[in-house]
Amino acid sequence: MNILITGASRGIGKAIAKALDGEIFVTARQENLLKEYKNYCVCDLALEYEKLGKYIEQNKIDILINNAGEYIYSPIENIEKNALSHIVKTNLEAPLYLISKAIPHMKEKKWGRIINIGSISGVMGEANASLYSATKAGLIGATRALGLELAEYGITVNTINPGWVDTDLGNESINDSEFSKTEIIDSIPQRRFVHPSEIAGMVKYLISEDAKGVTGQSINLCAGLSVGY
């Protein structure tokens, strides 16, 4: 199986790439962080996702994992037009475009797996992160629609929605927040951050034949954050 993971240079994407078996293809913006992989494509999804679309077509990708994403923490009135365009392209426009390029091969094969890494913020909403929440909610909506559209071809489409994850990006985003890490952990029912390996494990299940009946789903992997406090 040919598997492509976007945003695989660190964090969740890297954990997924290391956990899966098959021919692994990865992409990210920094080449120096990709050189440990045999197959990689340097790409900034906000600027050149068409380049990655061609890479997907050339390598006949069977499993596409849309993991790359951008996060902006800011009151809506302070958002600049360039930031709006950047996050929409990275978090929503690019994943949908990449899916469109992967689908013809999957349809021909009558089998495929598409997994989007969303966010609990796309399920619940997050104050001062409206653009992030909106793009991740859009990804969930697209997942439902594509699950229906592609079901007859043996292609499944699902979204995993992490809560707070113990990655560099997750910890860096605390600096933008008005809350401390202790306060954030206190708001999580399990009183902990999710580990990237947990998300990788869910991905591994969703691409397996055991999960062939799971499609169009939005799965919250958030240590109970979506349930309430």
Tell me the residue ranges of DSSP E strands in the chain.
2-6, 23-28, 39-42, 63-66, 112-117, 155-162, 217-221
Per-residue pLDDT of the chain (229 residues; tens, 9 = 90+): 999 999 999 999 999 999 999 999 999 999 999 999 999 999 999 999 999 999 999 999 999 999 999 998 899 999 999 999 999 999 999 999 999 999 999 999 999 999 999 999 999 988 999 999 999 999 999 999 999 999 999 999 999 999 999 886 666 666 666 677 888 888 889 999 999 999 999 999 999 999 999 999 999 999 998 887 6
- The burial of 159, by beta-carbon neighbours within 10 Å (0-12 exposed, 13-18 middle, 19 or more buried), is given as buried
How far, CA to CA in Å, does 130 sit from each of 115, 125, 134, 136, 169?
A: 23, 7, 6, 10, 18
Per this entry, what is the length of the chain?
229
Q: Which residues are catalytic?
A: 132
Residue 177's pLDDT is 66
2-164+195-221 has CATH 3.90.78.10 classification: no
Instruction: Give the model's pLDDT for residue 102.
Output: 98
Distance CA 9, CA 219 (A): 24
Per-domain residue ranges of the chain: 2-164+195-221
Q: What per-residue confidence (pLDDT) applies to 225?
A: 87
